[in-house]
Amino acid sequence: MALVPSTAIDGPLFAEVDMGGDSSSTTVRATVVQASTVFYDTPATLDKAERLIADAAAYGAQLVVFPEAFIGGYPRGSNFGVTIGSRSAKGKEDFRKYHASAIDVPGPEVDRLAAMSGKHKIFLVMGVIEREGYTLYCTVLFFDPQGQYLGKHRKLMPTALERVIWGFGDGSTIPVYETPLGKIGALICWENRMPLLRTALYAKGIEIYCAPTADARDVWQASMTHIALEGGCFVLSANQFCRRKDYPPPPDYVFAGLDDEPLPESVVCAGGSVIISPSGAVLAGPNYDGEALISADLDLGEIVRAKFDFDVVGHYSRPEVLSLIVRDHSLKPVSFTSAENKAESARKL
């Protein structure tokens, strides 16, 4: 395999590996965005997203993947004033502002994202903070090049203190979309480490596996490589690159748990966005240098070649010994029988 040299950093960063495919295979140009939210300013973040999408599309991207919580923000370093048994007044006000930065799905921000995907003729995978009433969810939204909103995935299991501010997804939002580029789906950050949840995506035939994240540690790369090999799929992981100055200054926003407040130029999330092939080859990234568009050409024929070795839900499965049941229906805390009766009556007509 020959390493293809990178382009200059003023365009999308390419660090592709020639997989030795042939002209009969479909090739998809994919871009993962490594950039920071404009915290507490959703309109400005949407403006930034549009600029980044336009830049990626200008370089031929057909699929653009954004980081976890890009719209709405990942509240790194914040504890929202929570201790066991109490919540501070400032923490409650921090949550009010965070809630105000989230978006309704559907809603005007979703419409604007759909318009961006249609204008630039790309498939778009966007990490957002979704607001449903007074509960927030860490969510990924999917859009097609016709400007249509396809649906969403809600993070099934928030990590650690995320559980204080985000609700839990259920089995009804674990989609894999069949598109002209291949079958596309996503899991968010550490839920990628849940073997049964990954297996649900494999069973749906995922080919382009998107992994928006907030984890910039070196060990994250091992997880991404393992998933590519295990699933026989392309893995596209997008993370933010953030400095302290990308968040509001103290005392409005404080990084808790540190001996000293970080300096404005201090890196608080180093990125590490990466694209990996089904054979485990790194096609682009990981990048730890700053905001970047990280792109690669995906030879979809590589999926078939990888599955010949290992098909986790096909010839390498043993369903008579090991099997998985996925409860993929929506779970609601309150159901009204009048609504159920109306739906039943409509079905009988």
Annotated catalytic residues are 68
Residue 299 near residue 27 (C-beta atoms within 8 A): yes
Amino acid at residue number 68: E
Q: Measured at the alpha carbon of residue 192, what is the angle toward residues 253 and 243, in degrees to the nearest 5?
A: 25
Give how far the C-alpha of residue 13 lies from the chain's centroid of Cα atoms, to the nearest Å: 19
Residue 194 near residue 156 (C-beta atoms within 8 A): yes
Token pair of 306, please?
């990888």
Residue 157 near residue 190 (C-beta atoms within 8 A): yes
Residue 68 near residue 189 (C-beta atoms within 8 A): yes
Distances (CA, A) of 257 to 78, 94, 128, 254, 325: 9, 17, 26, 9, 40
| Segments in the chain forming alpha helices (H) | 42-58, 89-101, 108-120, 162-165, 195-203, 219-231, 301-309, 337-348
In 3D space, the residue among 301, 298, 303 whose CA is nearest the CA of residue 29 turns out to be 298
Q: Give the span between the Cα atoms of 282 and 306, in whole angstroms.
A: 15
Q: Give the span between the Cα atoms of 136 and 141, in whole angstroms.
A: 14
In 3D space, the residue among 302, 311, 308, 312 whose CA is nearest the CA of residue 279 turns out to be 302
Token pair of 193, please?
């480490």
Token pair of 151, please?
């649906």
